[in-house]
Structure 1
């Protein structure tokens, strides 16, 4: 069964998406949808990355809660910065964060976290994965930001993936 459907949830999603896009449940569309749902995951299987090693599920749960809290807090801070921009313009800056994290799954998770936190933009990863360039919306203390970034995001991801 695993050889025919390497990703059953993906196949189910493809079938559902196909039927929703065609807006009909005729036999022909159902058969075409099943064909797409079976063939596409088989063709794309070589492109799928290997599963990541997840360790320390408790750390992962705390990280998810922390990121959720930071999203809300950062959204409020960015909104306040935009509203007071005429009185005190934000001091946007690029920050180079040295990285200890090397795992590709951990780096991907770090990229998603950086993208979802308002006020931060992942700009560039060094070719040797030793440093990350981030643009910060309003930066007062670069050293404090680097410490906060590493302690809140990189170190938990390192514990989870390495």
Structure 2
């Protein structure tokens, strides 16, 4: 058995070991050995679950990550403002069905995380054939405009990155 086969992703195994030692709050030899065993065993057990995703455009991925960071800050402010003015203007919250062109499983996983991380949107359901997703949106007076903006802002870059 080669070292690469035993430790398929050494960075992840080292991170798991470091996390174990932080949680144990000890660097005694017994804890280090136990952490190494856990890091190796967990990595081997989840190897079949590990997604095989290729990022085709790393610069687009970096711009997308920066956009998400900005959107998180902006959406926090928008939702906070909406909560403060609730007595005078109630948000138009609703479920919106968004047709999807993105089919890559890793891209869909990233899209689900993004919609859950950005305040004001929650991923509710994905069609069995992955052709559409259902989002719950905090304030979307114009359903068509929201869907078009969502597709341009999130889905299009993910298609460029993963497909």
Partner residue, 1:33: 35
2:83 is matched with which residue? 82
Q: 1:60 aligns to what?
A: 61
The equivalent of 2:105 in structure 1 is: 104
TM-aligned CA deviation for residue 57 of structure 1: 2.2
Secondary structure of 1:132's aligned partner: strand
Give the 4+ runs in structure 1 shifted more than 6 A.
none
The alpha carbon displacement at 1:55 in A equals 1.3
Tell me which moved more, 59-68 or 148-157.
59-68
Whole-angstrom distance in 1 between the partners of 2:19 and 2:38: 10
Contact 2:51 2:106 in 1 (8 A): no
2:132 maps to which residue? 131
Aligned with 2:147: secondary structure?
helix
Shift of residue 161 of structure 1?
Answer: 1.1
CA 1:29–1:65: 2 relative to 1, 3 Å: closer
User: CA–CA distance in 2 between the matches of 1:109 and 1:141?
Assistant: 25
Does residue 1:7 correspond to 2:14, yes or no? no
SS of 1:24's equivalent? coil
Taking structure 1 as the reference length, what is the TM-score of the superposition?
0.92
> Which residue of 1 is the match for residue 94 of structure 2?
93
1:3 partner SS: helix
SS of corresponding position for 1:47: coil
The number of aligned residues is 161
| CA RMSD of superposed structures (Å) | 1.4
| Structure 1 unaligned blocks of 5 or more | none
